[in-house]
């Protein structure tokens, strides 16, 4: 048995997911997972709340609310939004107070410590004397020392480079806005440099990682990599169980990889009733924003090498860039955001999923605007619905609602289906994974169906009943294939089309794409994409 485990970056439960998040790893992971399932693979989509993230602590502090209550509330909101977007996660866990998760992370951490893989070091750290807080990650902001963009401590989202917070230009405490001082702390650090040769060999064997990620990794290992802080003096996170470090917590980014492994183990145990073993092939596929590249492709891989638990290294990593809103970056503080849960009250999931695929930020920043979304949606849904309803009208009027199917597939229909099938197999799978190309391929396929109707089917109606029947049957082949082709991106539309072809959604299988023997009496649903009830909803 071969298993594929798909992960998307654990969402931080300090609020809902906005459409920039949805356009990134969450939709992509869902599309890939759906494709692998209908092609007969054993695949599970796994993620979890990033409960111990520093952004939880700073958000709770700024909003004057209890962080644990906020985590529980927002994880539920995130789950609800994923469900509304038809993003089907097989396992979503809460690490906060989760003994299985915490014990797994501690076992991983202690094994590294006991093997001498972590260094004890004394180092400078920014400190807010007013708040009595050590400042790292979301507790401090300033200008990135590399690209000069606004940046939090330890990571610049703009350029993806890690930083030492003491090197930020114009740093300030995000709690009280005061200028910090420099103090020292003694913590545990992970020497990534020790694994540069293994990392280099690993990167050279990646065939599906996008070029920008490979180049990023090569640049990281081309120079000395600073020892990475594994512990921080803080009271939010998993406490370090080692004498002398009891006032510190494990860095949440170092928690993430063992957290993923524990999720996989838990899902496997729940699914099969036995513990996961390494006797058969297991593949880890990760979808993430490019700003998280260092952690997933450098830190996590090096830690797996260090602990000699590399049976589930990220074989495939698919990254995306930022999705902009009206040409500007999403900003919660400025109210420049559209929250997924709110938007999906007005916008059906398939309509949004298709547009997010068309405009996906795969290799560069792309943009969402309501005007463009509405115009694109109107053209797209009208084109698709008019074509399908045209077919249904022919079946009702000329064949009394019974779908003709005793016809050989015409070479033109077969070649169109085969060409689209081959292209989508590339775009839905990992060698050339692309939501943009897949959605454009679907649009092109529908245009070809329209051409076939106008050039092959309608001219035969008044000339030859037999050939006309044969050609209408070929449209059934084309639409049956469309229902399967569209399923990864538009699962609701796909099932509705299959239903209106008189077949069951159990026929949504990639290998039976030419099988129309199950098609029977045509359905009569007119709307295949629900109408929008659009309102501009921006976060605040």
Polymer length in residues for the chain: 540
Nearest CA to 338 out of 152, 69, 85, 86 is that of 85
Note whether 89 and 236 are same-domain residues: yes
Query: Does the pLDDT value for residue 538 go beyond 50?
Result: no
Looking at residue 424, its pLDDT comes to: 98
Note whether 407 and 273 are same-domain residues: no
The string of DSSP codes covering 505-540 is GGG--GGGTT--TT--BPP----SSPPP--------
Domain assignment of residue 461, yes or no: yes
Looking at residue 253, its pLDDT comes to: 95
Domain assignment of residue 521, yes or no: no
* pLDDT 10s digits, 171-186: 999 999 999 999 999 9
Looking at residue 537, its pLDDT comes to: 44
HSE toward the beta carbon, residue 113, CA cutoff 13 A: 19
Note whether 261 and 403 are same-domain residues: no
Residue 273 region, left (φ>0) first, then alpha (ψ -120 to 50), else beta? left
313 backbone dihedrals φ, ψ, rounded to 5°: -70, 155
Note whether 310 and 420 are same-domain residues: no
Give the CATH number of the domain where residue 486 resides.
Answer: 1.10.730.10
E-assigned strand segments in 278-415: 282-289, 314-320, 323-325, 366-368
Note whether 294 and 384 are same-domain residues: no
Q: How confident is the model at residue 280 (pLDDT cuts 50, 70, 90)?
A: low
Note whether 246 and 101 are same-domain residues: yes
Contact 286, 28 (CB under 8 A): no
Alpha helices in 400-528 (DSSP H): 411-428, 435-452, 458-461, 465-485, 491-500
Nearest CA to 112 out of 248, 315, 299 is that of 299
Note whether 106 and 43 are same-domain residues: yes
What is the C-alpha to C-alpha distance for residues 155 and 134, in angstroms, rounded to an integer?
16
- In the block, residue with structure tokens 């298709």: 354
Q: In the listed set 320, 343, 366, which residue is the last one of a domain according to the structure?
A: 320
Domain tally, the chain: 2
Note whether 489 and 387 are same-domain residues: yes
DSSP helix, strand, coil percent of the chain (3-state; round to 5): 50, 15, 35
Note whether 307 and 395 are same-domain residues: no
Q: What pTM value is reported for the model? A: 0.95
Q: Residue 430: which domain range?
A: 375-512
Note whether 405 and 294 are same-domain residues: no
Nearest CA to 286 out of 363, 217, 210 is that of 210
* pLDDT 10s digits, 206-228: 999 999 999 999 999 999 999 99
């Amino acid at each position: 048995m071969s298993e594929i485990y798909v992960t998307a970056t654990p969402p931080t439960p300090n609020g809902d997911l906005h459409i920039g998040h949805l356009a990134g790893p969450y939709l992509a992971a869902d599309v890939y997972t759906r494709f692998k399932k209908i092609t007969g693979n054993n695949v599970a989509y796994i993620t979890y709340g990033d409960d111990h993230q520093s952004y939880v602590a700073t958000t709770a502090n700024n909003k004057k609310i209890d962080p644990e209550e906020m985590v529980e509330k927002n994880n539920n909101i995130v789950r609800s939004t994923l469900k509304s977007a038809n993003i089907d996660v097989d396992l979503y866990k809460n690490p906060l107070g989760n003994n299985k998760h915490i014990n797994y992370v501690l076992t991983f951490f202690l094994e590294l410590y006991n093997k001498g893989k972590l260094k004890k070091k004394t180092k400078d750290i920014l400190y807010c004397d007013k708040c009595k807080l050590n400042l790292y990650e979301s507790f401090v902001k300033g200008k990135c020392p590399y690209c000069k963009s606004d940046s939090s401590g330890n990571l610049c989202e703009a350029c993806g480079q890690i930083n030492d917070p003491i090197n930020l230009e114009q740093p300030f405490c995000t709690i009280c806005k005061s200028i910090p001082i420099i103090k020292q702390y003694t913590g545990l650090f992970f020497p990534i440099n020790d694994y540069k040769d293994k990392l280099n060999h690993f990167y050279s064997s990646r065939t599906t990682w996008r070029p920008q990620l490979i180049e990023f990794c090569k640049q990281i290992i081309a120079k000395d990599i600073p020892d990475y802080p594994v512990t921080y003096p803080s009271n939010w996170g998993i406490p370090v169980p080692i004498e002398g470090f009891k006032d510190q917590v494990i860095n949440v980014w170092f928690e993430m990889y063992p957290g993923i492994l524990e999720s996989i183990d838990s899902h496997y145990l729940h699914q099969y009733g036995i513990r996961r073993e390494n006797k058969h092939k297991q593949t880890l596929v990760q979808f993430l924003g490019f700003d998280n590249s260092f952690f997933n492709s450098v830190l996590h891989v090096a830690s797996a090498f260090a602990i000699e638990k590399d049976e589930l290294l990220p074989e495939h990593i698919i990254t995306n860039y930022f999705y902009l809103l009206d040409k500007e970056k999403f900003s919660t503080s400025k109210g420049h955001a559209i929250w997924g849960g709110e938007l999906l009250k007005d916008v059906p999931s398939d309509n949004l999923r298709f547009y997010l695929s068309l405009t996906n930020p795969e290799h560069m920043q792309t943009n969402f605007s309501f005007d463009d979304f509405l115009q694109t949606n109107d053209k797209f849904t009208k084109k698709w619905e008019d074509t399908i309803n045209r077919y249904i009208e022919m079946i009702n009027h000329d064949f009394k609602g019974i779908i003709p199917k005793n016809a050989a597939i015409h070479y033109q229909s077969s070649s169109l289906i085969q060409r689209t099938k081959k292209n989508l197999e590339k775009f839905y799978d990992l060698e050339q994974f692309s939501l943009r190309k897949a959605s454009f391929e679907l649009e092109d396929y529908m245009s070809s169906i329209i051409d076939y109707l106008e050039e092959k089917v309608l001219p035969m109606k008044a000339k030859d009943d037999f050939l006309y029947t044969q050609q209408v049957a070929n449209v059934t082949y084309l639409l049956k294939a469309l229902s399967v082709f569209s399923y990864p991106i538009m699962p609701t539309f796909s099932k509705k089309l299959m239903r209106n072809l008189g077949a069951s959604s159990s026929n949504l299988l990639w290998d039976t794409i030419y099988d129309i023997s199950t098609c029977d009496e045509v359905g009569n649903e007119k709307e295949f994409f629900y109408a929008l009830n659009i309102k501009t909803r921006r976060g605040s």
